[in-house]
C-alpha cells in the first residue's frame, strides 16, 4: 500500500489543539482506504523553537522539509511575546515563497448543518473558490523607513507584480473555472484607485480570458466585491485575487458561510518541485487557546485537501462528506462558534468515527 511522508507543524495556540484532530481524521481515512502515513512532527512555533533559538526555523529548513510529500500546518503567532510580522515572516511566509506555493486555494461553502449569518441562505447558495496569489503582490519585502524619529519620518512598501507571477495564478484560476459546471470567474481589482499595478493585473486577466472562451469572466473592484459577497454570494464561482485582496476575501467568505473555524486552505506548488502546505485559514486564536473549544473542521478539511493533492480522491471526498454529515446530524458535538457547546476533541472524534463508519457503509452497499 502507498505510504505518504508528511511533515506536521502544529504551531501555536489553537494550532496545537486542532492539528491532533486533523491527524486523527487523516489516520481514519488512511485506515479506511488502505494507505499509510509516516508523520514527522516539527516544533517550529513561537512558544517552542523560537523560545530556544530566537528564530522560527533552522537555517536549513528547506532541506529539512523539502523532501516530504506535504506539510500539514496549524497556525503560528504569539503576539504577546513575538511581533506577528517576525513570527509570520519567519515561518509561514517563508514556506509560501521558498517552496514556491504560488496558489493559495481557499474553498468557501455553506455546509449542511451550519447557519449563515446572511438572511435566508441555504446550502448551495454559497459555493465558490477563492484563488489567492501567494508569493508576491502587496506582501513584498521591498521598501523601507527613512528620517526615522523626525517629523519627516516616511515609510514605503512596494507592491510587486511580475508577468510570470500574475499569469501563473490567473492560469490556475481559469483552469479551475473551466472545469466547474458554472464556468464563471471573477477577478478582484482596484484599478480605479491603484493606478499602476492593478491596471496591469486587469490587463493580464483580460488577455488570459481570451484563451478561455468557455469561461465567463468579469471583474469587480475589491470594495464592491466585499459588499456583493454579503448581498449576492450565489453569483460567485471562482474568485481570483492578489495576495492582500485574497487574504481579506478568504476571511469574509467563510464568515458569510457561518464561521472562519471551518475554512480550509491549500498552499500549492503546482509544479510539484516542492511540498505543498495545507492549513486552516484561521490563526492561532490566542483569545480561545487552551480551552479546548476551537473548531477543528478547518484543519480537518485542509487534511481533505491534502488527500486530494496526494491523489487519494475517494478518501478526500469521504472526509468532506463526514464533516458535513456530523455538522448536520450531531448538533451536540458542535463547537461554540457553530452555536454549540461541544469541544475540539468531541467534534474531531465524531468526524473520525463518521469517516470509518461511512467507509464500511459504502463497502456494505457495494457488496
Pick out residues in 220-259 that bind Mn ion (CB under 5 A). Answer: 247
**DSSP conformational letter for 160:** B
Which residue in the list 68, 139, 212, 236 is annotated as catalytic? 139
By CB under 6 A, tell whether 351 contacts ligand NAD: no
Q: Is 236 designated active site? A: no
By CB under 6 A, tell whether 258 contacts ligand NAD: no
User: How many alpha carbons fall within 13 Å on the CB side of residue 110?
Assistant: 22
C-alpha cell at 135: 508569493
Asked if 186 contacts 226 with a C-beta cutoff of 8 angstroms, the reply is no
In angstroms, give the least distance from the CB of 77 to ligand NAD: 2
Pick out residues in 92-151 that bind ligand NAD (CB under 6 A). Answer: 92
Residue from 247, 312, 324, 337 touching ligand IPM (CB under 6 A): that is: 247
Q: Is 190 designated active site? A: yes
Residue from 261, 275, 342, 358 touching ligand NAD (CB under 6 A): that is: 261
Count the helices and strands in the chain (H runs, E runs).
12, 12
- Cβ closer to ligand IPM: 284 or 325? 284
By CB under 6 A, tell whether 75 contacts ligand NAD: yes
Q: Is 202 designated active site? A: no
**DSSP conformational letter for 42:** -
Q: Is 328 designated active site? A: no
In angstroms, give the least distance from the CB of 283 to ligand IPM: 6
Beta strands in the chain (DSSP E): 3-11, 36-41, 70-75, 103-109, 127-133, 143-146, 154-157, 184-189, 216-221, 238-241, 264-268, 276-280
Q: Is 102 designated active site? A: no
Note the Cα 229 to chain centre separation in Å: 18
Which residue in the list 190, 219, 236, 337 is annotated as catalytic? 190
Cβ neighbours around 179 below 10 Å, total: 10
In angstroms, give the least distance from the CB of 24 to Mn ion: 25
- List active site positions: 139, 190, 223, 247, 251
Amino acid at each position: 500500500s502507498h505510504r505518504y511522508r508528511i511533515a506536521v507543524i502544529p504551531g501555536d495556540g489553537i494550532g496545537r489543539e486542532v492539528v491532533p484532530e486533523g491527524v486523527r481524521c487523516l489516520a481514519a481515512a488512511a485506515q479506511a482506504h488502505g494507505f499509510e502515513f509516516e508523520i514527522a512532527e516539527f516544533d517550529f512555533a513561537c512558544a517552542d523553537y523560537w523560545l530556544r533559538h530566537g528564530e522560527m526555523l533552522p537555517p536549513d529548513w528547506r532541506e529539512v522539509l523539502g523532501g516530504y510529500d506535504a506539510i500539514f500546518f496549524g497556525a503560528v503567532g504569539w503576539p504577546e511575546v513575538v511581533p506577528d510580522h517576525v513570527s509570520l515572516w519567519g515561518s509561514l511566509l517563508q514556506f509560501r515563497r521558498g517552496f514556491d506555493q504560488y496558489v493559495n486555494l481557499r474553498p468557501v461553502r455553506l455546509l449542511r448543518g451550519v447557519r449563515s449569518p446572511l438572511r435566508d441562505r441555504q446550502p448551495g447558495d454559497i459555493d465558490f473558490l477563492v484563488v489567492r496569489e501567494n508569493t508576491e503582490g502587496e506582501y513584498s519585502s521591498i521598501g523601507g523607513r527613512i528620517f526615522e524619529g523626525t517629523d519627516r519620518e516616511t515609510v514605503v512598501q512596494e507592491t510587486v507584480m511580475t508577468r510570470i507571477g500574475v499569469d501563473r495564478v490567473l492560469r490556475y484560476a481559469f483552469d479551475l473555472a473551466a472545469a466547474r459546471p458554472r464556468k464563471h470567474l471573477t477577478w478582484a481589482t482596484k484599478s480605479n484607485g491603484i493606478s499602476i499595478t492593478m491596471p496591469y493585473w486587469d490587463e493580464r486577466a483580460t488577455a488570459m480570458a481570451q484563451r478561455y472562451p468557455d469561461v465567463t469572466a468579469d471583474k469587480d473592484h475589491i470594495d464592491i466585491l466585499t459588499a456583493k459577497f454579503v448581498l449576492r454570494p450565489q453569483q460567485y464561482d471562482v474568485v481570483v485575487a492578489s495576495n492582500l485582496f485574497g487574504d481579506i476575501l478568504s476571511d469574509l467568505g467563510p464568515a458569510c458561510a457561518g464561521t472562519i473555524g471551518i475554512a480550509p486552505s491549500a498552499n500549492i506548488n503546482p509544479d510539484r518541485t516542492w511540498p505543498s502546505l495545507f492549513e486552516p485559514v484561521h490563526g492561532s486564536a490566542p483569545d480561545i487557546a487552551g480551552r479546548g473549544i476551537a473548531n477543528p473542521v478547518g484543519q480537518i478539511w485542509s487534511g481533505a485537501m491534502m488527500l486530494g493533492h496526494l491523489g487519494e480522491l475517494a478518501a478526500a471526498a469521504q472526509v468532506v462528506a463526514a464533516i458535513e454529515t456530523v455538522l448536520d446530524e450531531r448538533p451536540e458535538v458542535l463547537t461554540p462558534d457553530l452555536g454549540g457547546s461541544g469541544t475540539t476533541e468531541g467534534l474531531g472524534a465524531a468526524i473520525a468515527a463518521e469517516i470509518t463508519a461511512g467507509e464500511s457503509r459504502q463497502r456494505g452497499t457495494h457488496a
